[in-house]
Structure 1
Amino acid sequence: MARRCELTGKAVQVGHLVSHSNRKTKTRFLPNLCNVTLQSDALNKSVRLRITAHALRSVEHRGGLDAFLIKAGETDLSQTAKLLKREIHKKLAETETQAAA
């Protein structure tokens, strides 16, 4: 399983730890990944995702999973998140056509 956020695409970064004597030691900076179950209001189901703590705050700030996925670009999303986004778009379009009729 890749150490990558499913919503924002944030992954492992590589850098140096620099000591007082200016020696550089290679290190990996891992993202703060959390296993989270989020509720989709449009689909009326819960979804398990592995996202960073920062992404969780962003989801809450935007007003939920549906609002986050509608606004998010597809380049950073994982396969499961892309499928969810498409399902949400279909469901919202379906409810709009029913409301218009």
Structure 2
Amino acid sequence: MARRCAITGKGVQSGNNVSHANNKTRRRYLPNLQVASFTSDLLGRLVRLRLSTNAIRTIEHNGGIDAYLLSARSTGLDAEILRLKKAVVKAAAEKAAA
């Protein structure tokens, strides 16, 4: 499993540890990824995603996973999220038609 957020695309960055003697050794800065569960009202199921804390806050700010996916642009989203978005858009269209 990649250390990358499915929504924001945040991944591992690299840099240096710099000692008091100014010795530099390479290090990795890992993103703060969490497994988050969201309830999709349109799909009627629980959605589990591995997201950065920033992405979790963004989804909650937009009113849940359904509202976020309906308003989000498709560019820059992970393939898993694009599949989920397509299913949510289809369910929203069916709900509107009924």
Give the structure-1-normalised TM-score.
Answer: 0.85
**Match in the other structure for 1:62:** 62
2:47 maps to 1:47: yes
Q: Deviation digits for residues 59-93 of structure 1, max 9, x if unmatched?
A: 11111001111222323322221111001111111
- Taking the aligned partners of 1:40 and 1:14, their CA distance within structure 2 comes to 36
Q: Which residue does 2:79 correspond to in 1?
A: 79
Percent of aligned positions that are identical: 47
Gaps of 5+ in 2: none
Cα distance in 1 between the residues matched to 2:71 and 2:16: 35
Match of 2:23 in 1: 23
Structure 1 runs not aligned, ≥5 long = none
Count of residue correspondences:
98
TM-score norm. by structure 2 comes to: 0.87
Give the C-alpha shift of residue 19 in structure 1.
Answer: 2.9
Which structure 1 residue ranges, 4+ long, deviate > 4 Å from structure 2?
none
1:94 offset after TM fit, Å?
1.7
Code of the residue aligned with 2:73 in structure 1: it is G
Which range moved further: 34-43 or 14-23?
14-23
What secondary structure is seen at the aligned counterpart in 1 of 2:20?
Answer: coil
The RMSD of aligned alpha carbons is 1.5
* Counterpart Cα distance in 2 of 1:68 and 1:9: 16
Secondary structure of residue in 2 paired with 1:68: helix
